[in-house]
Structure 1
Amino acid sequence: MSYDVPTQEMLTRDSVTIGVDAAVYYRTSDPIATLSRVNDAHMSTRQLAQSSLRNVVGTRTLAELMTDRHGIAIQVKHILDSATLFWGIHVERVEIKDVRLPREMCRAMAAEAEAQRESDAKVVTAQGELDASVAFQKAADELAGSPTALQLRYLQTLVKISAHDNHTIVLPFPMEYIKKKLQK
């Protein structure tokens, strides 16, 4: 037999109200015990399924509930199976079908996720800028040792600038000439 546990409002350990849908699959393993040991074994199994699910959800945080549905289902199955065994009922499987969050919680989680993505993007950008500045410093150190290489790099930069539709004219002027004039 199967039983759809109706959606129940439940409170998690971290005080979040959620709605949980589940299904319980069970069978009668001892018909005599089912008829003699409990007034209505099937109704009792259903009520026990509801209360067991509520109790287990109450011991978990929202994060645990969202990431470990299978573990919760196994825990509920174990509780149900051990309690209903005396009634001649064997619980085959418990499935957590759906977990519904309140709308404001969904909005808050979406805003938190967006903020986390923006934060991660800023970290990546900052790391890229740091790597670029280290590379520029190494290039500057290399070029500082050779005035000819520095002049060639300067000319390459001018070529790149002039490649676009530019109306600005740039004339390279040797720095050594300026230094000599200033010393006189």
Structure 2
Amino acid sequence: MFWIKQIVIGDGERGLLYRNRRLQRVLAAGVYRWFDPFGRIAVAVHNAARAEYAGTDADVLMARMDAKLGEHFLLADVGVDQVGLVLKNGKLEDVLAPGTRKLYWKELVPVELRLASLAGTLEVQPDVANRLRQLGVLTKVAVALDVPSESAGLLFVDGKLVRTLAPGAYAFWNFRKNVAAEVIDLRVQSLEVSGQELLTRDKVSLRVNLAASLRVTDPVAARTKVAKYGDYVYRELQYGLRKAVSAKTLDELLGDKASLDADIFAYVRGRVTELGVEVLGVGVKDVILPGEMKDILNSVVQAEKAAQANVIRRREEANATRSLLNTARLIEESPVLMRLKELEALEKVTEKIDKLTVFGGLDGVLKQLVTIKE
């Protein structure tokens, strides 16, 4: 008949029965008929397989929540200092921000609400963080931080340092408070100061490259006492280098680089210790001179080496002359030695003669070829 209204509710659906636009009850799966000649009955069919209620009258239903509606709906009412964790079939599926109110169908899909308080701690439990990471929503509702080994993490809440973090994985709720986290590297780091144009005490212009090694010993001080500790150490190395070079002449710099390293190290170490940074070593890598100064130094070195060569030559000549004099004295005192010298001279002469005619025997050779006046 025309006055009979029939409604079919599927297995994955639920219906809300309205009479005169007022909610009467929730309809389970099945076929329903009503005698409605005046069109006063209306049924809104919803997909209950999707747990979250999608109707536009959610606020009305939450206001009328009673025992009967509680059989079909779960009211998720999250306080202003709480985070709601919605579990479906025992698995975390959604996160509700503080102050959120939502309705969920709970007949087809088992739905559970867990509340996490923000009053005590903002840290997300590891199992919850892992599940949110799987869902791809962790960074939307929390601040995630991985602190590697040989590092330290710093947690800031509303601009205040509240905690130092050991190596590990962390996540913190980012609701109603400004949460930020940083990682400070505690390993030894190298710092290069290159191309510094400086003047020595004797007004010689040169360029110096400097290298330093450092590490953070107090991450809290390194982060809170100075904006960027790396930039600060770099500037102090520049100042220490300028101060040390200006106090020495060029010869002192080139002759003793170790003292220059020690002066820079002592200056910088005293300036950065209170910032939680330890300077382990400082070393001058290169001292670069202008082209004209290189030519001058090369000339100086050549002159010094030439003078040293002359001194050595004169010393050797004097030694040779002294040796000849000693030999002459020995020959004068020993006729046999003089005869041996004559034979040596004869041997050297005969080496250069291709043909030799001898008259008068060996005595003639000795007397005619080699004659030594007494």
TM over 0.5: yes
Relative to its length, the structure with more helix (as a share) is: 1
SS at match of 1:27: strand
Which of 219, 224, 230 lines up with 1:42 in the alignment?
A: 230
Question: Residues 89-127 of structure 1, C-alpha deviation per residue, up to 9 Å, x if partnerless?
Answer: 222222222111222222222233233333222222222
Q: Which moved more, 1:145-154 or 1:58-67?
A: 145-154
Shift in CA distance, 95/146, structure 1 to aligned 2, threshold 3 Å = closer
Which of 27, 30, 52 lines up with 2:240 in the alignment?
A: 52
Counterpart of 1:127 in structure 2 is: 315
Question: Residues 129-165 of structure 1, C-alpha deviation per residue, up to 9 Å, x if partnerless?
Answer: 2222222222222333456754663454244223214
- Note if 1:27 corresponds to 2:177: no
The 1-side partners of 2:265 and 2:373 are apart by 83
The 1-side partners of 2:284 and 2:192 are apart by 10
SS at match of 1:161: helix
Relative to its length, the structure with more strand (as a share) is: 2
- Note if 1:139 corresponds to 2:327: yes
* Displacement after TM superposition at 1:80 (Å): 1.2
Counterpart of 2:251 in structure 1 is: 63
The 2-side partners of 1:146 and 1:94 are apart by 70
Q: Which moved more, 1:117-126 or 1:150-159?
A: 150-159
Which of 87, 90, 94 lines up with 2:275 in the alignment?
A: 87
The 2-side partners of 1:144 and 1:25 are apart by 74
* Displacement after TM superposition at 1:26 (Å): 2.4
Unaligned runs of 5+ in 2: 1-188, 358-367
Question: In structure 2, what residue type is equivalent to 1:88?
Answer: G
The 2-side partners of 1:97 and 1:174 are apart by 68
Counterpart of 2:341 in structure 1 is: 153
Provide the aligned length of Structure 1 versus Structure 2: 176
SS at match of 1:111: helix
SS at match of 2:286: strand
Shift in CA distance, 81/165, structure 1 to aligned 2, threshold 3 Å = same
SS at match of 1:60: coil
Question: In structure 2, what residue type is equivalent to 1:102?
Answer: P
Shift in CA distance, 156/37, structure 1 to aligned 2, threshold 3 Å = closer
Q: Which fold has the larger relative contact order, with Cα–Cα distance below 8 Å and residues 6 or more apart in sequence? A: 1
Counterpart of 2:193 in structure 1 is: 5
| Larger Cα-atom Rg | 2
Equivalent pairs: percent with the same residue? 28
Shift in CA distance, 72/37, structure 1 to aligned 2, threshold 3 Å = same
Question: Residues 8-52 of structure 1, C-alpha deviation per residue, up to 9 Å, x if partnerless?
Answer: 111122322111111222233333333443344332222121111
Considering only aligned residues, what root-mean-square deviation do their CA atoms show, in Å?
Answer: 3.0
